[in-house]
Amino acid sequence: MAYVGAGGDWLKAFVNAALAYGVVYLYGMTSLTIFLSTLRAIAEHQIVDDDEPAEGKASIRNMRPTFGTRILFGSHGFCEHGTHHAYPVIPHYNLPEATRQFAESKPNMAYGKSYWGVLARALRPRGQSGSTVSTADLTRPPLTTNMDL
């Protein structure tokens, strides 16, 4: 008879292994979810080209959807991020059609690069990106308080 653990209890060993696997699995899935969410936010808001419309220090765009990006990033209309910001009352299942309709009259609402294309442009060195945004432009203005007024 095989000896498992201190008491030789197979059920206890199985439960301990299942719990350990569950913790490792959940940790991995949580880490992957946070990583993909961060990539999605960078792709949706990072200014990578001079000709992109910007709102403040960020760009808001519609990404060209692909099968892979719909599964990883855009299952609920994330590819239509610009349309969602312009018209937040449109339900996510109507965003693709709304984006196509708005793109006819507003070219900046058309689908642009894919998520991967935007991320590749964002990762290029600053001198090659074509962007005029410098790190000096990204500094915050000094805070004022009621005492300063």
- Indicate the domain borders of the chain: 10-127
* pTM beyond 0.95, yes or no: no
Residue type, 46: Q
Whether 136 has a pLDDT exceeding 80, the answer reads: no
Q: CA separation (Å) from 149 to 29, 116, 140, 143, 145?
A: 49, 47, 19, 11, 7
Res 129: pLDDT: 46
Q: Which of 65, 109, 120 is nearest to 87 (CA)?
A: 109
pLDDT-derived band at 97 (thresholds 50, 70, 90) equals very high
pLDDT-derived band at 91 (thresholds 50, 70, 90) equals very high
